[in-house]
Amino acid sequence: QLQLVESGGGLVQPGGSLRLSCAASGFTLGYYHIGWFRQAPGKEREGVSCISSSGGSTTYLDSVKGRFTISRDNAKNTVYLQMNSLKPEDTAVYYCAASHSYYARLEATGYSYWGQGTQVTVSS
């Protein structure tokens, strides 16, 4: 089966940092464009960041620009989301997803494969 598995979530204080990882199994991640999405309780899922298959292009949600950085290591079949200067409003379940087209950008409906999610909680 084609699977994406997120890890690296947890509880962190405001201003702290976390690095999320998205590891692929059953397929070559380097052939796919990858997006990070998040969903807070009672809220709609929103796109956070995405990266093209080669890593040459990236897109960010305005509220995370300058704080989050997406990157990938195709040799390790892994995509990362470095999250710095975390705020309480960043609290959500974060999902990794794979798309056949970079046109999807931060639109969830454009992604075919999804991970199970990892919880990020920013609280003092």
Q: What is the pLDDT averaged over residues 84-89?
A: 98
pLDDT level of residue 69 (50, 70, 90 thresholds): very high
pLDDT(1) > 80: no
Q: Percentage of the chain surpassing pLDDT 70?
A: 100
48: nearest Cα among 66, 60, 34: 60
DSSP 33: E
The pLDDT of residue 103 is 83
CA–CA separation, 92 and 44 (whole Å): 11
For 14-57, what is each residue's pLDDT tens digit? 999 999 999 998 889 999 999 999 999 999 999 999 999 999 99
pLDDT(115) > 80: yes
> Residue type for 111, please?
Y
| Residue 48 near residue 64 (C-beta atoms within 8 A) | yes
The pLDDT of residue 68 is 98
The pLDDT of residue 72 is 96
The pLDDT of residue 12 is 98
The pLDDT of residue 90 is 98
